[in-house]
Amino acid sequence: MRIQLAAAVAGLVVITGTGITVAHAAAPAADAGRTGSRVNTCANPVVDRDVTGWGRHGTGATGARVAVGAHVAAGYAYRQPAANGANPEMYLPQKDVVAGERWSFAMDTWVSGPATSVTARMQVDWYSAASIYLGHTNGGEVAVTPNAAETWTRVAAEFTAPAGATRANVTARLAAPAGMTWSATACDYQPVSRATPSPTPTTPAPGGDTAAGRHNWGTPLPASDEFNYGSTAAPAKPDATKWKLAGSEATGCWAGHDGNGRRCEENSRVLGGILRMTGDADGDTGLLGSLYDQRYGRWEVRARSQATSPDNGRQYHPVLLLWPRSEQWPQGAEYDYLENSAPGEQCAGAFMHYPNHQPKEQEHATRCDVDLSQWHNFGFEWTPQHVKGFIDGEQWFVFDRDCIQCAPGPMFQTIQLDNFHGGNLQTAVFEVDWARVYSL
């Protein structure tokens, strides 16, 4: 199990901000004449494979997926034709919510037809966990200038989930006469405020802050580890019935990530409730690989990371990932559902590697409202339909295009503190409260 974690691909565009972002391969340098937004974080945001989640509503005509050429990021859009009635509507992908949360729902739109001035707005129908209708909220009207040439306008509004709401059915309305052609793409759902604060560094998260609790994943499998053994006075090795420990051969260490430093057995210990993985200044660090594997399933890890010496620009990378049991890479894919470039930073990253790196190497998600020096619960779901990531029970990415979820065989969880620099590193610690695994 000599895991080599690929570095991020040069040329990816990562648009950071206060919410969730997803970056794909960089757009051509010549964006002149292109309009629209680069953010596209709701499920099936740019309809690049099918129209799942999109459809006609109200007086809207039946739409279809069409190719577009002048959007800054999207190559496809959902289009309702000139058969639209007056004031047509369309529905967009749904979003799970928690009562009291405030969300921004947005999309890019292009309108053409006989009218010279129209407006568009975002709307939400709210539903409970029992699918009981709770009410409707309209966003503000946004002016859109009809144009025969492809021209994109951002339509966005903020909404607060009412009491009892667990689902937002997002729709849009075009205030226009009949006969308009209406296109939309690049839907973007971002949290504006949370219903509850993030857990403190020393307080275990309640069940509602886990993906397992919020999405009813069931009982953890026996391969899970609560790390409730060892002590600060007598640190213990991780449970050998559940984990393969890096460097457990006679040499005591393996070569590190991409040949940088070493992965050593002594750098991973359990101290009475906490797995503590250390990264030393000389480049020695740790790695754990679960002995349990499965094809499709769910995983969740409660973790935090911190630097333990002054910043010298040479930081360790805390990583949670799924690796193919076959050890065949990139054929077997790789799902890094948490990787950040420095311990305790404010941006969580994820890198989903395609099997065989086809049709491209990876997809990348970034969320920049998370203090990774504090405890958070990082969840991952792998099904035949998609891969999804969660932070404290809230979905922050989903990918289902081009068979990215089609890893050919079983995969297993690893916990890593990776060395990208060799020696003279800023020392660090990666701590795990528990690591749980679930079947579908």
| CATH label of the domain that carries residue 139 | 2.60.120.260
Q: How far apart are CA 239 and CA 219, in angstroms?
A: 20
- Categorize the per-residue pLDDT at 45 as very low, low, confident or very high, splitting at 50, 70 and 90: confident
Domain membership of residue 6 (yes or no) is: no
Residue 212 and residue 86 share a domain: no
Is residue 420 within 8 A of residue 432, CB to CB? The reply is no
Helix/strand/coil for 146: coil
For the chain, how many structural domains are there in total? 2
Domain membership of residue 23 (yes or no) is: no
Domain membership of residue 16 (yes or no) is: no
Domain membership of residue 19 (yes or no) is: no
Residue 370 and residue 235 share a domain: yes
pLDDT at position 40 is 42
Residue 424: Cβ-neighbour burial (10 angstroms; 0-12, 13-18, 19+):
exposed
> Where is average pLDDT lowest: 45-54, 279-288, 372-381?
45-54
Domain membership of residue 83 (yes or no) is: yes
Residue 147 and residue 244 share a domain: no
Residue 428 and residue 341 share a domain: yes
Domain membership of residue 139 (yes or no) is: yes
Backbone angles phi, psi at 174, to 5 degrees: -110, 115
Q: Of 165, 193, 221, which residue sits at a domain end?
A: 193
Domain membership of residue 30 (yes or no) is: no
Q: How many helices (H) and strands (E) does the chain have?
A: 1, 30
* Residue carrying structure tokens 């966990």: 129
Q: How far apart are CA 80 and CA 56, in angstroms?
A: 7
pLDDT at position 14 is 27
Q: How far apart are CA 216 and CA 219, in angstroms?
A: 9
User: What range defines the domain where residue 359 resides?
Assistant: 207-438
pLDDT per residue over 70-86, tens digit each? 998 788 999 999 999 99
pLDDT at position 142 is 95
Q: Of 145, 170, 193, which residue sits at a domain end?
A: 193
332 Cβ contact partners less than 8 Å away, ≥ 6 residues apart: 323, 324, 325, 326, 355, 407, 408, 409, 411
Which residues on adjacent β-strands are paired with residue 302? 377, 434
The greatest distance separating any two alpha carbons of the chain, rounded to the nearest whole angstrom, comes to 78
Domain membership of residue 24 (yes or no) is: no
Mean pLDDT of 412-418: 97
Specify the CATH number for the domain of residue 248. Answer: 2.60.120.200
Residue 155 and residue 55 share a domain: yes
Residue 144 and residue 221 share a domain: no
* Nearest in space to 96 (alpha carbons), one of 136, 128, 53, 137: 128
pLDDT at position 27 is 31
pLDDT per residue over 346-365, tens digit each? 889 999 999 999 988 889 89
State yes or no: pLDDT of 215 exceeds 60: yes
pLDDT per residue over 326-341, tens digit each? 999 999 999 999 998 8
Mean pLDDT of 237-242: 96
What count of other Cβ atoms lies within 10 Å of the Cβ of residue 282? 14
pLDDT at position 284 is 95
Q: How far apart are CA 326 and CA 230, in angstroms?
A: 32
State yes or no: pLDDT of 20 exceeds 50: no
State yes or no: pLDDT of 37 exceeds 80: no
Is residue 395 within 8 A of residue 274, CB to CB? The reply is no
**Average pLDDT along the chain:** 86
Mean pLDDT of 369-376: 90
Q: Of 146, 163, 193, which residue sits at a domain end?
A: 193
Residue 258 and residue 156 share a domain: no
Mean pLDDT of 41-66: 88
For 314, the token pair is 């040479």
Q: What predicted TM-score, i.e. pTM, was given to this entire model? A: 0.58
Residue 336 and residue 309 share a domain: yes
Residue 362 and residue 305 share a domain: yes
State yes or no: pLDDT of 5 exceeds 60: no
State yes or no: pLDDT of 99 exceeds 50: yes
Mean pLDDT of 421-430: 93
Residue 170 and residue 85 share a domain: yes
- Categorize the per-residue pLDDT at 250 as very low, low, confident or very high, splitting at 50, 70 and 90: low
- Categorize the per-residue pLDDT at 373 as very low, low, confident or very high, splitting at 50, 70 and 90: very high
Residue 247 and residue 171 share a domain: no
For 239, the token pair is 């449970």
Backbone angles phi, psi at 336, to 5 degrees: -90, 95
Residue 362 and residue 222 share a domain: yes
